[in-house]
Amino acid sequence: MTSSLLRQVDRLQPSQPSQDGDGVKIKRIHDFGGGLDPFLMLDELGSDRPDDYIGGFPPHPHRGIQTLTYVIHGGLTHEDHLGHSSTINAGDAQWMHTGRGIIHSEMPLTDRHGLHAFQLWLNLAASEKMSPADYRDVRSNEMSRLSIDGAELIALGGRWTRNDGETVVGPLDALAGSGCVAHVNLAAGSELVLQTDAPTLLAYVFEGELAVGDARVPAGHLARLTEGDLLALTSPAGGQALLLAGTPHREPVAHYGPFVMNSQAELQQALHDYRDGTFTG
């Protein structure tokens, strides 16, 4: 019988203040050099001041990625050139496969807590970058949950297994790079141990503080985990995090604004297609 190996923090990356869209203030973590492969970027939108986000994200293009947007408080209304129009609220998520091209907008809504949401960029494999665009939203009540002694895992996508063997599968089943995404909420003094040998495993703490393996990870930091097959999370005072797991593409990455391709020539083609009106054709 092989012994289990506890995964430890290999790199800790703090989020950086930034803004996007029409002046929306965000906290951003990005790595287009392969350090988070197959993930590219994670934005946290969070404020109780409407001026920080009310301008939203007017119509803009994407090519070569998937996006996953998840709302903690408030909401977002999505519209795109394919005719999709929907609003997600607290606990809901929306997934967008941009493929060869999509033009969309996201406009924020508020509740009594303001707005708190995340957008994750996942890189598409070279073979998928020019595939047809697609969109899907998922409601909170469609998401599977693992709960034990004050610790809860909400599975947005992929398979998640507790160390006692109990498994849940999130409804988003087509995430790039065999991606898995979950929201973890630990009450003070609780613990969650997961079985996961995914080549890429990341934890972004956004509230309180979590002990990830033997390291303490404060809010606003992304932890990249070492190889292994067990992930242990504890929190003496309580905390929340997003967990991201996947399989690297290990392909060249060329990035310019909303486009992520494999070469500069492909980026130039994306810009040309957008300017001449053939971007989504």
pLDDT digits (tens, 9 = 90+) for 81-92: 999 999 999 999
Q: CA-CA distance, 119 to 121, in Å (whole number)?
A: 7
Q: How many domains does the chain have?
A: 2
Per cent of the chain over pLDDT 70 is: 95
Helix (H, G, I), strand (E, B) or coil at 269: helix
Looking at the structure, tell me whether residues 136 and 153 fall in a common domain.
no
Looking at the structure, tell me whether residues 63 and 200 fall in a common domain.
no
3 found inside a domain: no
pLDDT band at 192 (very low <50, low <70, confident <90, very high): very high
Looking at the structure, tell me whether residues 19 and 138 fall in a common domain.
yes
4 found inside a domain: no
pLDDT at 49: 66
CB pairs under 8 A, 24+ apart, for 269-272?
270/63, 270/64, 270/101
Q: CA-CA distance, 47 to 248, in Å (whole number)?
A: 33
Q: Which tens digit of pLDDT belongs to each residue from 154-168? A: 999 999 999 999 999
Q: Which two tokens stand for residue 231?
A: 């992930």
Neighbours of 234 (CB within 10 A): 17
Looking at the structure, tell me whether residues 58 and 135 fall in a common domain.
yes
Backbone torsions φ then ψ of 236, nearest 5 degrees: -60, -35
Looking at the structure, tell me whether residues 138 and 149 fall in a common domain.
no
* Enclosing domain of residue 234: 143-250
Beta bridge mates, 115: 47
Looking at the structure, tell me whether residues 131 and 61 fall in a common domain.
yes
176 found inside a domain: yes
CATH code of 96's domain? 2.60.120.10
For residue 204, give every residue at least 6 positions away whose Cβ sits within 8 Å of its Cβ, in sequence order, or none.
29, 42, 44, 221, 222, 223, 241, 242, 244
Q: CA-CA distance, 210 to 236, in Å (whole number)?
A: 8
Looking at the structure, tell me whether residues 270 and 135 fall in a common domain.
yes
* Average pLDDT rounded to a whole number, residues 36-41: 98
pLDDT at 1: 41
What pTM value is reported for the model?
0.95
Mean pLDDT, the chain, rounded, equals 93
163 found inside a domain: yes
Looking at the structure, tell me whether residues 138 and 163 fall in a common domain.
no
9 found inside a domain: no
Looking at the structure, tell me whether residues 125 and 166 fall in a common domain.
no
Q: Which tens digit of pLDDT belongs to each residue from 93-128? A: 999 999 999 999 998 887 777 889 999 999 999 999
53 found inside a domain: yes
Looking at the structure, tell me whether residues 210 and 134 fall in a common domain.
no
For residue 116, give every residue at least 6 positions away whose Cβ sits within 8 Å of its Cβ, in sequence order, or none.
44, 45, 46, 47, 71, 72, 73, 74
Q: CA-CA distance, 91 to 108, in Å (whole number)?
A: 15
Looking at the structure, tell me whether residues 178 and 70 fall in a common domain.
no
5 found inside a domain: no
195 found inside a domain: yes
Looking at the structure, tell me whether residues 192 and 133 fall in a common domain.
no
Please determine, for residue 151, whether its predicted confidence score (pLDDT) is greater than 90.
yes
pLDDT band at 58 (very low <50, low <70, confident <90, very high): confident
